[in-house]
Structure 1
């Protein structure tokens, strides 16, 4: 019996890979000097791992997707200030590290997208189980 749609683990892998790419690009473009530039890659690795587990082990899918949602939530909360600063930057304001702010905003958006779709999937799964 599956409780989440099979699409959610695949989405976790895709968004995880996007975060990994963003993290490594950020690290390289920032001169490979700051390990904090790799934070999106670490989040992406965890998200992709959860997605992989959800794809390969149907019995663990539910737990893996809940873990992925927690990773996305922590990633969003940890980078939300970058979204605020990004809007300051777009408005012509000054921010200390524009590239870092942009990468934080990208990380927050990717995490938010996954989190919203995960919550939607969890609600649908609960409704589906209650109908049975």
Structure 2
């Protein structure tokens, strides 16, 4: 899971880079760097979790999944904005909502994969 965490972190950093180059000229372009910050945290905790010591690995993976969950929860307004756009309504910053929805989807998939892995690891310890 540590390598998967690093991979998801890199994807978020790339999303941030693409969003910044596309939205950087706008007044709120600096906000497009937020996915990169979450991605950097995932890369750091993924690298720290890449250890043979089980307790440290568990600690850093739980911190990483918490970062992913916070990343998802923080993007809920953007996801709702994209849903509003899909139903034909206009919103204030559609580009920002799209970036938030992409980040939220990436974080949600990551969290779900981590939860599935945590459950499998717990079952393996009980057997």
Which residue of the partner structure matches residue 24 of structure 1? 17
Which residue of the partner structure matches residue 64 of structure 1? 60
Name which of 119, 124, 129 aligns with 2:125. 129
1:30 Cα offset (Å): 1.0
The alignment status of 1:76 with 2:69, answered yes or no, reads no
Mapped contact 2:2–2:49 kept (Cα < 8 A): yes
TM-score, scaled relative to structure 2 = 0.90
Residues 43-122 of structure 1: pairs in structure 2 closer than 5 A: 43-55=38-50, 57-59=51-53, 60-122=56-118
Count of aligned residue pairs for this structure pair? 123
Q: Higher RCO, 1 or 2 (CA under 8 Å, sep at least 6)?
A: 1
Segments of 5+ residues of structure 1 without an aligned counterpart are 1-7
TM-score, scaled relative to structure 1 = 0.87
1:127 Cα offset (Å): 0.9
Structure 1 segments (4+ residues) deviating >4 Å: none
Segments of 5+ residues of structure 2 without an aligned counterpart are none
RMSD, aligned CA:
1.2
